[in-house]
A and B are shown apart, each in its own frame.
Chain A
């Protein structure tokens, strides 16, 4: 049904109609208002396309996009769909190309997305071909505006939008500068297909309360501890969220490499090497999960560094595309350590596999009751700001309030009716 017709009983989004997760009409409008709306979508990392002609094909929402480095050295992004009849132009997911040529009728595009070649435009021996007034410049691939912050590439379809750093706000600009403080190297990718609505995942990311309850590895084997401090930070609009936890260095701080204290656990791993955190930032944060509205997450879980991009597939399916990285100056021991620690995260992660299940059991169970509501009051009601503890899901509401603004929904109408 019309997305604006759902009942939002509370202006602070402490009630979310289940239809928002299940309704194909909502999904269609999101593609226009969210992913093509006034947001900076994460695209890729510059380290993935270091040379002229290097490209990766990605998705922004449902839209296929080519991200490549052109002859001017700059990164360009444009829709990977031929301006002629809509075929996928670049069919490979990565590679190096001088131009992108559609295999169907050989329309060719340069690395800036401009149409440069159309075979038989003037026909053969004066017969056939395109009308005289055909103008190549009117048939470019739809371009995104691209900005880079320390090698992290964002793009937007919006013509009017604040600059990237204003969109991210101080906390998140600083976090990206912290994570991408020196040249990185790509370690590889992971993909996870979840049978659920993509916003059940953005909710999950803004709900630090579930961490110690759903992901029991941390409690069982003593990763989450009483002396660990944590909380969540949001931007000026509370649409982005960074959940964080800090190691209480205490008496261990003379040793750069230390095991997680285990005073709180019942079981011990036979080989705890994957829990060893090697301090590598000047601060004490050992867990930071920065979720940027709408489609990406920058994670530091111990020494596993990764970007996750949410790629919508349908109202009931999305892919999480994980790009793992380390630093170019990592030695082989650190390389191996990051690979070992990657066991904690991803689709098979010891502290993350549960998210796939949690999202799917919600998506299935709410099917029959699109007019009923999720209850979101951990962390209180009202406006959303920084959270000084982890027993909160208030940042979820920050996401939804901004989401409603972009979707043309006014939550809380019933309160005043």
Chain B
């Protein structure tokens, strides 16, 4: 358990760093081919609604999101900065169930920062060919009133 905890910590650290450094093509590779990425508001979850803010049902759809950001979409020019909490880890037959709180700040081009989103990750991680990868990652956002817009992943 302790060594897995450390490896999972490194995975989450890498996840956040790849977004913060705008290395989204590498970020995509942290998911298994069937890997699912979902952002959903706590408001919807609490009422039993499935409507997400973003839903990628497999890695191809995650890659498409990134390609769209690169080639098509216009959005607020910013850098991201993630702050993650300690992990909560449970071993299950499906893999490692990993939870972590996050705070995500966005900073514009002239150095004005704002709290963009807080919430919790609810992840399933599995070892594939010696590498820990996300089988699913659900981002449960407390900040359901999305400030401005939602482009880059959380």
User: Chain A, 342-359, contact with B by CB distance < 8 Å: what is the 0/1 string?
Assistant: 110011101001111110
Give the total number of A-B pairs whose CB atoms are below 8 A apart.
126
Given A189-B43, A220-B68, A220-B72, also A356-B148 (CB < 8 A):
yes
Interface presence of A161 (CB below 8 A): no
Q: How far is the CA of A187 from the CA of B48 in the complex (A)?
A: 9
Q: Are A348 and B149 closer than 8 Å at their CB atoms?
A: yes
Interface presence of A221 (CB below 8 A): yes
- Minimum CB distance partner of A272 in chain B: B64
User: Chain B, 89-103, contact with A by CB distance < 8 Å: what is the 0/1 string?
Assistant: 000000000000000
B121 CB to closest chain A CB, in angstroms?
17
Q: Are B148 and A221 closer than 8 Å at their CB atoms?
A: no
| A residues less than 8 Å from B71 (CB atoms) | 216, 220, 267
- Classify the secondary structure of A's interface with B: mixed
Q: How far is the CA of A187 from the CA of B50 in the complex (A)?
A: 6
Interface presence of B54 (CB below 8 A): yes
| B residues less than 8 Å from A28 (CB atoms) | none
B97 CB to closest chain A CB, in angstroms?
23
Q: Are A192 and B146 closer than 8 Å at their CB atoms?
A: yes
Within 8 A of A (CB), among B50-109: 50-58, 60-61, 63-65, 67-68, 71-76
Within 8 A of A (CB), among B7-57: 39, 41, 43-44, 47, 49-57
User: Chain A, 189-212, contact with B by CB distance < 8 Å: what is the 0/1 string?
Assistant: 111111100000000000000000
Q: Are B72 and A217 closer than 8 Å at their CB atoms?
A: yes
Interface presence of A372 (CB below 8 A): no
| A residues less than 8 Å from B58 (CB atoms) | 271
Q: Are A189 and B54 closer than 8 Å at their CB atoms?
A: no
B137 CB to closest chain A CB, in angstroms?
15
Given A347-B149, A348-B53, A348-B146, also A189-B41 (CB < 8 A):
yes
B19 CB to closest chain A CB, in angstroms?
15
User: Chain A, 317-335, contact with B by CB distance < 8 Å: what is the 0/1 string?
Assistant: 0010000100000000001
Interface presence of B115 (CB below 8 A): no
Q: How far is the CA of A348 from the CA of B50 in the complex (A)?
A: 16
Given A188-B49, A270-B61, A339-B50, also A216-B149 (CB < 8 A):
no
Interface presence of A269 (CB below 8 A): yes
Q: Are A347 and B68 closer than 8 Å at their CB atoms?
A: no
Contact of B74 among A194, A269, A346, A354 (CB under 8 A): A354
Q: Are A274 and B44 closer than 8 Å at their CB atoms?
A: no
Contact of B146 among A187, A274, A347, A354 (CB under 8 A): A347
Known: A188-B47, A191-B144, A271-B60. 13 other contacts (CB 8 A): A94-B47, A189-B41, A192-B149, A193-B145, A194-B149, A195-B148, A214-B74, A270-B63, A339-B52, A342-B55, A347-B146, A350-B73, A357-B148
Which A residues contact B (CB, under 8 angstroms)?
Answer: 94, 186-195, 214, 216-217, 219-221, 267, 269-271, 273-274, 319, 324, 335, 339-340, 342-343, 346-348, 350, 353-358, 360
Which 9 A-B residue pairings sit nearest by Cβ, starting from the closest?
A188-B51, A188-B49, A348-B150, A356-B149, A270-B60, A347-B146, A220-B72, A271-B60, A191-B145
